[in-house]
Structure 1
Amino acid sequence: MAATKTVNKSKAHTGTGTEIGARLGIRASEPSIAEALSIASFALLSMTSSVVIAAQRDSVADNPIGRETQFAAVITTDEAVTSDTDETDPAEIDAALLYYLEQDRVTVAEGIFNLKLPVGDKRVYEGKLVLDTLTGSSANGAVPQDERQTFTRPSGNGEYNIDSANTPLDDTFKDTRVQLSGNWAEIWSPDWSSNHGLYLSREYDYTSMGINSALERSFNKSNTQLSLGMAYYYDLVDPVGGRPVAMSKMVFRDDFDSQSEFRTEFDKTRQIASSDKQTVDLSVGLTQILNRYTLVQLSYNLSSLQGYMTDPYKVLSLVDASGTSEAYLYESRPDERLKQSFYLFSKHALSTGVTDLAYRYSHDDWGVSSHTFETRYRYNFTATFFGQLHLRYYRQEAASFYRAFLNSAEELPEFASADYRIGNMNAYTLGIKMGHSLVDGTKASYRLEYYQQDPYSNGEQATGQLAQHELYPSIKAIIFQLGLSF
C-alpha cells in the first residue's frame, strides 16, 4: 500500500469579507409604520449594490476559495432596514464583537467598527473597519482511512498526521483579516438617489479590492422604487508555497534520500507566481410599498468571474478498488464562472413589532444551485426592549465536478474538487436576539444562534473501506454577537 499523505494548509480565504450588517445596534423606539416602511424602502435600494452583492460573494456556493466555514453565510445582515435615524442626526457609531465556534473545527473572533456621518438631510458618509482572526482545524478534502495518514504542508516544510478513521483536518489553520470599506449615499431629488462604495480586504495570502455603485429612481409618490447596481472586485491570490499544479500528485519527504531531491520534486508541483481573479456583479431591484403595513422587494443579480478560482489548499484522495488511498491530487476548477440569482423579500409591520420573509435562488454554470429561505420575527416588549427570532434554511446542489474521491481505475477528469463547500448540503440556522437601551442612551443587542450543516452524497459509490467511514460529516457551530450603538 502506498504511503497515505496530503497537502493542505486549509486556509480560509475571502477576498470579499463578511457582511455582518450596516446596523449593529438598536433604537430606543420604532418609527411610525408609514415612516418605517419609507425608511426601509430606501434602505433596501441602498443595499442592492453593496449588501445584496456582498451576500452573493459570501455564500457557500459563491465563494469556493472563501472562508473555510459557513461563517460568512450564517452571519449576514439582519438590521439593515430597522433604523429610525433621521439623516440630520449627528454621527453614529456602531460596534460589535462576534464569536463563531465550530465543534472540533474552526473558531472565529471578529470585531466591527462602523461610523455613519450625515451631512445635511440628503447625504450620508459611512466607513467600516473589520478585524477577524480564525484558528482551529480545517478539512483538507481527503477521505478517512483505516490506517494513519500523513500529509505534507503547502510550503513543503513539515508534515501532519491524522489518526485512522478520522476526517483529515489540518490543526494549524489560522488567519487574520483586515477589511476597510467606505460608502457615500445621497438623495439628489425627490425621485433620484445614489449609493457608492469602496472596499479593501487584506489577508496573509489574499488581497481583494472593489468598488460598487447603485442608482435609484422613485415612482408612484415614492411607493415604487427601481434600482440598478454594479460592483467590480479584483482579487490577488498568493498561496503559501505557490499555486499547486492542477491534478498533480503530492510528494513526500520520506520517499527521497535527501532534502534537496524532495525539494526539486516538490517544486515541480508548484507555480510560484501569484494569480488573480476578477468579478463583475450587476443587479436590478424593484421595491414596492403595498400598503401602510407591507413592502416587498424583488432583485436579480448576475455575476461574471474570471481567473484563479481553485483552492490551493484542497486535495482529493485517489483510491483503488478497496477504497485505499494511493495518492493525493491537488484539486482543479474552471477559471470562468457565470452566476445568476433571484431574491424576493417582504417586510410586514405589526402593532407590536415587525416580521420579514426572504427567498433566494442561485444557479451557476458550474452546476451549483441553491435555495435559501429565511425569516425573522421581532417583538417589541416595550419602547426600549425587543426580542427577535431567526430561522434560516439553505439547500445546495453540488458542482458538476464535485467528487468526494477519485478512483484510480478511471481516467482523471480535467476538473475535480472534494471541497464540501461546493458539494450537496442542507444547512439550518436557529437564533434569538435581544436588544435594549442602556441608561446613558447607548443601544445594546445580543445575538445567539445555532448553525448546522449536513453534507450528503452526490451518488458516488463508497467502495471498500470507505463504506465503513463517515465521508460527509455534519458541521455544528454556535454564534454569539454583542452589538453597541452610540
Structure 2
Amino acid sequence: MQLKDVSGLIASAACCLISAEVIANESINTESDWLDDWQIDSALMLYSEVDRVSALEAVFSFKKDFKDEHIFSGKLVIDSLTGASANGAVSQPNVQTFTRPSGNAQYTVKANETPLDDTFKDTRVQINGQWTSPFSTDITTSFGGQLSKEYDYLSLSVNGSISWDTNFNNTSYTLGGSYAYDEIEPEGGIPIALTKHYSDPAFFASQALFDQAYSSTIATTSSDKQTFDLLFGVTQVWTKRLITLVNVGISKVDGYITDPFKIVSRVQSDGYTLDNINESRPDSRNKQSYFMQSKYHFDWAIFDVSYRYSTDDWEINSHTLESRIHIPSKLTSYWQPHIRIYQQSAAEFYAPFILSQNETPNYVSADYRIGDLNAITLGLKYGDQTQAGNPYSIRLEYYYQTSEDSGHARPGVLQQQNLYPSVSAIVVQYNYRF
C-alpha cells in the first residue's frame, strides 16, 4: 500500500496542525542561544475511516534564519497506516476467497460485502531540506530535496524555485520545478497486467501447483517511475485587507503507475464472477492544474477561499472549492469553521467490472479512487492560550465521500450489489505551542 496515495486522501480531509515554536534570544551569544535560533514545529493527526483505513501522522519541522534572509528549513514526517483497503473486485451474493499480495496466504470476504484486504500495514518515513536565499534585492531562490521510504516504496526528489518581487513588493512572480524518482518493490512482486489473479489453492491438486501458477503471473520484483512538475504563480497584494494568489501547474509521470495490489472482476452474463485479473494502467500521465486563492480581512474575521481545477489525459477532471473563516471571539481565543467540496470525473479506463464475453481492454482499473467521486469535508477548530501564554487548539473534521454510478449496465446478481459504497472518516487534531 503506497502511503503517498493515502496522504493525498488525508490532506483532502484536513490539514495537520499542532505546532510549537522556540524563539531565539539573540542578546546573549552562547551555544544554547544558537540552538534557540531554530524555530521548531510539530504536528500530529489521527485519520480514521469507518471499517477501513486508519492513519497516524507525526510531523516535525524546523527552520533557522542565518541572517540576511538566508534560511534553512527541514521536515521529518512519520506515517503509520493500518486497516482495510478495497482490492477492486466486485461484491457477490456468495463468499469469495482472495490471495494476499505475497501469494502465501488467502482471505475470505462475506457475501454481499465489498472485498477488502484487512491485514495490510505500513510505515513511511520522510525527510526533506530546503535552502532559501536572496539572489538580489528583488529576487529570491530556493533549492531542496526529499527522501521518502516505506516498506515497499522509495521516493527521491529535488526541487528549485525563483521568485521576483516588484511593484513595491505588492506583486510577486514565482517559477518552480521538481523531479522525483520513485521505486516500488511490492511484496510478491510486480504482477503482469491483465493476467489471471489466482485466488484459491483449493482449485489445484497441490499447493505446489498453485504456487507455480501464481508465480507465472509475476513479471519482476520491482519497477519505477519518474515525475516532472513545473509551476508558475502570481501573488498580488491589492489593499491592506485583500491578497490573492494564482498558480498554474503541469505534471508529467512516466513509468509504472499501475497499482500492483488492485484487481478487476470478469463477470458472466448472470453477474457472477468468472475470475479476477490484475489491473492495467497507462505508463504515462500528463496533468494540468489551476489554483486561485483569496484572503480578505474583515473587521470581525479573516475569510479564506480557494478553488482548484485539475485535468489530465486519463480524462480525470476535478474541482475543489475550499473555505476557512478565522473568527476571533475573545482577547486570545478564536473559532475557525472549514468546508471543502470536491468533485471528480472517472478515468477513461475505469470500470467496476468487465464482462467475460467481451474483449479485455488494454487498460482497465476498478480502483474507486479514479472513478466518479463527490466528497465533502466539514470541520471546526477552536483555539486559545494557556495562562502562560502558550496557544492551543482542537480541531474536529468529518469527511464523507460517495462514488457515483459510472453507467455500466449491471448483469444478473450485480443489480442487487452495492458497487459504489461510500467512505466516511473522522479527523481529530490537538494543537499546542510550547
TM-score, normalisation: structure 1: 0.83
Of 103-112 and 181-190, more deviation after overlay is shown by 181-190
- 1:144 maps to which of 91, 94, 99: 91
Alignment of 1:316 with 2:245, yes or no, is: no
Aligned pair in 2 of structure 1 residues 485, 188: CA closer, same or farther (>3 Å)? Answer: farther
Counterpart in the other structure of 2:3: 13
User: Does residue 6 of structure 2 align to residue 67 of structure 1?
Assistant: yes
In the other structure, the counterpart of 2:402 is: 454
Amino acid at match of 1:353: A
Check conservation: 2:321, 2:340, Cα contact below 8 A.
Answer: yes
Question: Which runs of structure 2 are paired with 1:289-438 in the superposition (5 Å)?
Answer: 289-438=237-386
- 1:69/1:130 CA distance change after superposition, 3 Å: closer
Q: Distance in 2 between matches of 1:94 and 1:178?
A: 17
* Alpha carbons 2:69, 2:134 under 8 Å: kept: yes
What's the counterpart of residue 157 of structure 1?
A: 104
Deviation at 1:126, TM superposition (A): 1.3
Task: Name the CA distance, whole Å, in 1 between partners of 2:393 and 2:402.
Answer: 29
Aligned partner of 1:131 in structure 2 is 78
Q: 1:255: which partner in 2?
A: 203
- What is the CA-CA distance between 1:381 and the residue it aligns to? 2.0
**Deviation for aligned residue 1:121:** 4.3
For residues 256-308 of structure 1, the C-alpha deviation after alignment (integer angstroms, 9 at most, x for no partner) is 22222111111110023310010000000011111111011111000010000
Q: 1:211 Cα deviation (Å)?
A: 1.2
Alpha-carbon distance in 2 for matches of 1:424, 1:468: 20
Within 1, Cα distance between the matches of 2:433 and 2:334? Answer: 15
Task: Measure, in 1, the Cα distance between the counterparts of 2:382 and 2:63.
Answer: 23
Q: Say if 1:352 and 1:381, in contact at 8 Å, map to a contact too.
A: no
**What pairs with 1:28-39 in structure 2 (closer than 5 Å)?**
none
Task: Give the 3-state SS of the residue equivalent to 2:410 in structure 1.
Answer: coil
1:76: how far off? 4.0
Q: Secondary structure at the match of 2:210?
A: helix
Q: More relative contact order in 1 or in 2 (CA 8 Å, sep 6+)?
A: 1
TM-fit CA distance, 1:161: 0.3
Give the Cα separation in 1 of the matches to 2:56 and 2:16. 17
What is the CA distance between 1:77 and its match in structure 2? 7.0
Assess, with a 3 A threshold, how the Cα gap between structure 1 residues 77 and 356 changes in structure 2: closer, same or farther. Answer: farther
Change (3 A) 1:277 1:100: same
Residues 1:229 and 2:201 are matched in the alignment: no
1:112 counterpart (35, 38, 59): 59
Residues 88-103 of structure 1 mapped to structure 2, 5 A cutoff: 90-103=37-50
Distance 2:194 2:45 in 1: 38
1:457 Cα shift? Answer: 1.4
Which residue matches 1:285? 233
2:118 is matched with 171
Gapped runs of 5+ residues in structure 2?
27-35
Match of 1:21 in 2: none
CA RMSD of aligned residues (A): 2.1
Is 2:148 aligned against 1:201? yes
Tell me which amino acid in the other structure corresponds to 2:286: L
Q: Distance in 1 between matches of 2:248 and 2:41?
A: 30
Query: How many residue pairs get matched?
Result: 422
Summarize deviations over 1:437-474 as a string: whole Å, max 9, x none.
23344332221100000001111111111110110000
Q: Does 1:190 align with 2:129?
A: no
Segment drifting more, 410-419 vs 92-101:
92-101
State the SS of the aligned residue for 2:329: strand
Bigger Cα displacement from structure 2, 413-422 vs 119-128: 119-128
8 Å contact 1:303–1:338 — kept in the other structure? yes
Cα distance in 2 between the residues matched to 1:176 and 1:79: 21
Partner residue in 2 for 1:47: none
Distance 1:196 1:160 in 2: 47
| Structure 2 counterpart of 1:265, one-letter code | A
Note the C-alpha offset of 1:69: 7.7
Distance 1:245 1:104, change over 3 A: same
Q: Contact 2:133/2:140 (CA < 8 Å) preserved in 1?
A: yes
**Distance change >3 Å, CA 358–CA 397, structure 1 → 2:** same
Deviations 1:389-408 (A, max 9, x none): 11000000000000000100
